Structure 1
Amino acid sequence: MGRANRRLTRAARYGRYAGGPDPLAPPVDLAEALDAIGEDVMAGYSPERAMREFLRRGGTDRAGLDDLARRVAERRRELTRRHNLDGTLEEVRELLQKAVTAERAQLARDVDLDDGDRMLAEMQLENLPASTPAAVSELGDYDWRSGEARADFEKIKDLLGREMLDQRFAGMKKALENATDTDRAAINEMLRDLNDLLAAHESGDDTPDQFDEFMDKHGDFFPENPANIDELLDALAQRAAAAARMRNSMTQEQRDELDALAGQAFGSPELMQSLAQLDGHLQALRPGEDWGGSERMEGGEGLGLGDGTGVFQDLADLDELSEQLTQSYSGSSMDDLDLDKLTRQLGDVAAADARTLQQLDAALRDPGTMKRGSDGALRLTPKAMRQLGKALLRDVAARMSGRQGNRDVATAGAAGEFSGATREWAFGDTEPWDVTRTITNAIARTAGEGSGTAAGIRLEIGDVEVQETEARTRACVALLVDTSFSMAIDGRWVPMKRTALALHTLITSRFRGDDLQLIAFGRVAEVMEIEHLTGLDAEYEKGTNLHHALMLANRHFRRHPTAQPVLLIVTDGEPTSHLEAGGDVFFSYPPHPVTVALAVRELDNSMRLGAHTTFFRLGEDPGLARFVDSLATRVGGSVVAPELDDLGAAVVGSYLGSRRRDGGVSA
């Protein structure tokens, strides 16, 4: 092959698409990931940690980093427990025994042989040294009578030569079966030229032309087709370092036997001299490789020198993959995962799982899903919060769908007066199309694609927009959520946040004319945005200030005098704190009569403003049950005592029921 053809071949190599994300791949589904991440964030994890935890766990039908790491560890254990390093020595022993047995049989059959010569030969075979290398050396000049025995003995030299080469050049053992003297001479010439090239590179005197000349002459020995000397060095050094680790892992007796046999390789010491020189160049040029490591190999399956070196390369790959999968080192990134090595070690399915995790990581880190705040920490974007809220709302809808008389959340607000707004059509929508917006979208898309409109306009699903409608009664909603420490320690913290996010999503997506205010109350009360509430950490702070929370709710109701007030209170305890006239917080447990009286007064004010009140009592405390029941009776409200899993459905159902009672659209 000429140099120009070789360069053309190297330039035209094919591989996986590496120009960024696969343009033909389907988009990665973030729904499950966002749901899991949102759950962890609401439990107190940072978004960064929650994302990493999801990538470690994986999804319902997708392996995570931990599962891949487990499989890597299992593969490593399998390799070390299955094999031992005595394969080549055992094969030499078997060939030696076979040759000696065949020679003895020939001596017994050869009636024309002089008795003295027969006796001398039999004595030499009988008194061979116990050491395999010594026996092979002693028989080096033996005059074999059996052609079969001579052939088996020559196989020892051939085997040793092929194994020694296979340690440095993968596949050489098989390629050199039945090698001729010409083949061996070509190998020795390649090794001389390779050592000359590496020596020149080590001194800085090599040129690209020298590398090309070497590959033109000896390229058949390098099927990986390196493009330059660095690629050649990397491949050779990794293999040679694995061979060194294999030697380090042998017993001293095994090393001594192999050293004694090495001179018999191909019947020429020149091979070992060239290989020793090659190892020296590689260690000098790639000192960062692991030349000193070792492994404990005590299995029952013997490894030859070449196959054993391959196993040690596999172990090195597995160690590297294990580190990549931990993602615990400084500057770690999902892009560090070597998918080619993962494919070689665990197969295509594992590599596909890892590629999906990389795509998930990239999609989650997209500015539309997460963004970094001024402190450098990742935060969920409003878009991500909406996606998470939709998932929670679907769960609420599923829980409500089987209940008699409950309204379907998916179609809430679909009937009634037109709001003037439009939105993209979604499966299941029954609202009328906004024809003007739909046709405009189709024209804009057609123009963007460079197509003319002479042949007419072709509508696509993405062009369709429907007219938004809203319920005829506008509501002013206050959701009061207890954030005292008991909510956290009794496992109610995350269900409370999920409930708030589901209601927030329903109102902002389907009842946009309604006005929702989220009020968290612990020792004091505070109006919170949904992003703040979902990320709120639990704090050990005594106090359940229902008085302050109701004051904020009533202020919200007064700001919307034409709307129907809806008051929803989620709590697991009686009020134990209130605001005093000067703004200080008073706390007392058991509840002080003044604290209770102030809370009742503000609840009466809510009733005078026309609020429909629902208490959501969490827990089985009889005292709380009696207290909440009396409050609800006083203001004509109701009490719901849901299981934690049903809290979201209960709150959303109560909100929808309050709107129906005031002339809103029925389901």
Structure 2
Amino acid sequence: MPIYRYSEWDGTQDFNLDADELLKALSDDILAHGDISQALRQLLRRGFMRPDGTRFMGLQELMQRIRQARQQRLDQYNLGSVLDDIRKKLEQVVETERQGIERRLAEAREGAPQGADDPLVKMLEKVAQRKLEFLDKLPPDLAGQIKALNDYEFMDPEAQRLFQELMQMLQGQVMDSFFQNLYQQIQGLTPEDLARLRQMVQELNRMLEQRMRGQEPDFDRFMRQFGDMFGPNPPQSLDELLEQMRQRMAMMRSLLDSLSPQQRQALHELLESVLKDEGLRQELAALAANLEYLMPTDDLRNRYPFRGDEPLSLQEAMRLMEELQALDRLEQQLRAAEQGRGLDDVDAEKLRELLGEEAYRMMDALRQMARLLEEAGYIRSRGNRWELTPRAMRKIGQKALYDIFNQIKKDRFGKHETAYRGPGNERAEETKQYEFGDPFHLHLERTLMNSLTREGPKVPVKLSPNDFEVFQTRHTSQT
């Protein structure tokens, strides 16, 4: 029974492969199917056991780790708590304003002359009463409260600051649902920011409409005008920008899809309420429709079944959605590689970010397999396929013979090794059937032909001891 040894990654594990251990791991599949390309794909899928007893992960185990990482997040967090976090922030705003009003009244009354009806105090009391009544009558839903407080004149500066921070955070999430890191670039949606943002979205809609009519938009001109809004790593093409936007929209829609119907409606209405600029709101709605027409998000959207207890803010929930969607994309990339599309499309840096250094090093080693075998002279490229070299055939034949003789019954004289270590005789071109004790100079082609003659042309090729044919040797002497 094989023993598997697992240990936590500590930076000391050796992922350096050598061609001999790779060829040994491939040999059984090569003998069974006769196809080195298929054997390489199987090794990539399954991984293999190394001579020191450690396990080298394949694509299937990497995908299993991705599924475990996703499940760990789903079991940890309570997505519905995003509304609770916003509700608490609004309650803090209202309570701070109430306390500020009461404090202003108390300070005014203390400063008024004793026994006199100060008209300023009377006026302040009337204003305070109206504001307290307004706060008492705030709508029960979050979107309604946001809309009401947007038009409210705060008496307390701290309450006003808290509300502005909340609004900026919510506006940022609306922007981030379309454009990655855009909100950080415009620093808070001032009136000037809003005007320029509306102009940028309007121009982007114009380019998408051109694309839908079969025309080629001038993306370079767009970036010269608005490129500074996309941060230090701006998109290099319209297609790249559209793909980024598609992923951002899918994140927000996955977040909404993962909530209950009541929570989904509440969050949707809340996010719609934070943009006071009607023109920008209309342009963003048109942008969402245009993008969905050109690049649908259905294949990226997912409903995640959260079942944990740990609360999340809306910002944390969006970051979590980004991680979950990145895990989904990684799993799709690995599955495509498993199906034979190669490893070049696997995002190794994202693998390192989400699964750690060990997974990254494993992926790097998997990518080096074919190169190592080719550099060692074991395989060579023929078009889109790999083929074994004679050197590799001899190695595989030697292993097959060792495996066969390792299983046969030892003779009565003692424990003899099945691999004969004979004198350095000169090899002749004639061949003979292998007999125990012969130098193992395998003629692989005749060995395989003997099996095919006996079994017929089919795979897997089944070798018996009588099939093995070796080159004869000539003794040499010194004078």
Post-superposition shift, 1:31? Answer: 1.0
Deviations 1:494-513 (A, max 9, x none): x9xxx99955xx67x95434
- Mapped partners of 1:102, 1:131: distance in 2: 19
- Mapped partners of 1:59, 1:47: distance in 2: 19
Alignment counterpart, residue 158 of structure 1, candidates 150, 164, 168 = 168
Alignment counterpart, residue 142 of structure 1, candidates 152, 155, 166 = 152
* Paired residue type of 1:89: L
Alignment of 1:278 with 2:272, yes or no, is no
**Contact 1:501/1:530, CA 8 A, preserved across alignment:** no
Alignment of 1:66 with 2:60, yes or no, is yes
Partner of 1:128: 138
Instruction: Identify if the C-alpha distance between structure 1 residues 235 and 511 changes in structure 2 by more than 3 Å, giving closer, same or farther.
Output: farther
1:229-378 alignment, distance < 5 Å:
229-287=238-296, 290=299, 292-303=301-312, 308-326=317-335, 331-364=340-373, 368-370=377-379
Alignment counterpart, residue 40 of structure 2, candidates 26, 51, 56 = 51
**Contact 1:342/1:351, CA 8 A, preserved across alignment:** yes
Partner of 1:217: 225
Secondary structure at 1:297's aligned position in 2?
Answer: coil
- Mapped partners of 1:500, 1:47: distance in 2: 30
- Mapped partners of 2:33, 2:340: distance in 1: 24
- Mapped partners of 1:106, 1:186: distance in 2: 36
Partner of 1:188: 198
Deviations 1:520-546 (A, max 9, x none): 99xxxxxx944675896999xxxxxxx
Instruction: Identify if the C-alpha distance between structure 1 residues 172 and 324 changes in structure 2 by more than 3 Å, giving closer, same or farther.
Output: closer
Instruction: Identify if the C-alpha distance between structure 1 residues 269 and 290 changes in structure 2 by more than 3 Å, giving closer, same or farther.
Output: farther
Instruction: Identify if the C-alpha distance between structure 1 residues 46 and 263 changes in structure 2 by more than 3 Å, giving closer, same or farther.
Output: closer
Post-superposition shift, 1:179? Answer: 4.5
Instruction: Identify if the C-alpha distance between structure 1 residues 53 and 511 changes in structure 2 by more than 3 Å, giving closer, same or farther.
Output: farther
| Matched residues, number | 420
Alignment counterpart, residue 382 of structure 1, candidates 378, 382, 390 = 390
**Contact 1:368/1:384, CA 8 A, preserved across alignment:** yes
- Mapped partners of 2:43, 2:300: distance in 1: 37
- Mapped partners of 2:67, 2:445: distance in 1: 40
Post-superposition shift, 1:222? Answer: 2.0
Post-superposition shift, 1:262? Answer: 3.0
Post-superposition shift, 1:378? Answer: 7.0
1:575-654 alignment, distance < 5 Å:
none
**Contact 2:76/2:307, CA 8 A, preserved across alignment:** yes
Deviations 1:307-355 (A, max 9, x none): 5445434333323322443457654334443334434433454333212
Secondary structure at 2:426's aligned position in 1?
Answer: coil
Deviations 1:423-453 (A, max 9, x none): xxxxxxxxxxxxxxxxxxxxxxxxxxxxxxx
- Mapped partners of 1:534, 1:73: distance in 2: 43
**Contact 2:170/2:274, CA 8 A, preserved across alignment:** yes
Deviations 1:437-494 (A, max 9, x none): xxxxxxxxxxxxxxxxxxxxxxxxxxxxxxxxxxxxxxxxxxxx79xxxxxxxx938x
**Contact 1:42/1:534, CA 8 A, preserved across alignment:** no
* Paired residue type of 1:104: R
- Mapped partners of 1:520, 1:347: distance in 2: 53
Alignment of 1:36 with 2:41, yes or no, is no
Instruction: Identify if the C-alpha distance between structure 1 residues 321 and 155 changes in structure 2 by more than 3 Å, giving closer, same or farther.
Output: closer
Instruction: Identify if the C-alpha distance between structure 1 residues 294 and 534 changes in structure 2 by more than 3 Å, giving closer, same or farther.
Output: farther
Deviations 1:604-625 (A, max 9, x none): xxxxxxxxxxxxxxxxxxxxxx
**Contact 2:178/2:249, CA 8 A, preserved across alignment:** yes
Post-superposition shift, 1:359? Answer: 1.9
Instruction: Identify if the C-alpha distance between structure 1 residues 84 and 196 changes in structure 2 by more than 3 Å, giving closer, same or farther.
Output: farther
Structure 1 or 2: larger strand share? 1
**Contact 1:166/1:306, CA 8 A, preserved across alignment:** no
- Mapped partners of 1:202, 1:90: distance in 2: 41
Instruction: Identify if the C-alpha distance between structure 1 residues 106 and 336 changes in structure 2 by more than 3 Å, giving closer, same or farther.
Output: closer
**Contact 2:41/2:340, CA 8 A, preserved across alignment:** no
Post-superposition shift, 1:149? Answer: 1.4
Partner of 1:571: none
Partner of 2:87: 93
Instruction: Identify if the C-alpha distance between structure 1 residues 292 and 171 changes in structure 2 by more than 3 Å, giving closer, same or farther.
Output: closer
Secondary structure at 2:177's aligned position in 1?
Answer: helix
Partner of 1:492: 407
Unaligned runs of 5+ in 2: 1-15, 109-120, 411-415, 437-441, 456-464
Q: TM-score, normalised by structure 2?
A: 0.71
Secondary structure at 1:168's aligned position in 2?
Answer: coil
**Contact 1:85/1:308, CA 8 A, preserved across alignment:** yes
Structure 1 or 2: larger helix share? 2
More deviation, 162-171/271-280: 271-280
Deviations 1:273-310 (A, max 9, x none): 22221111111111376265322233344555565445
Identity %: 26
Post-superposition shift, 1:169? Answer: 1.6
Secondary structure at 1:267's aligned position in 2?
Answer: coil
- Mapped partners of 2:311, 2:265: distance in 1: 18
**Contact 1:518/1:530, CA 8 A, preserved across alignment:** no
Partner of 1:103: 97
- Mapped partners of 1:501, 1:227: distance in 2: 63
Instruction: Identify if the C-alpha distance between structure 1 residues 163 and 211 changes in structure 2 by more than 3 Å, giving closer, same or farther.
Output: same
Post-superposition shift, 1:117? Answer: 4.6
**Contact 2:97/2:159, CA 8 A, preserved across alignment:** yes
Larger radius of gyration: 1
- Mapped partners of 1:108, 1:293: distance in 2: 48
Name the Cα RMSD after superposition: 4.7
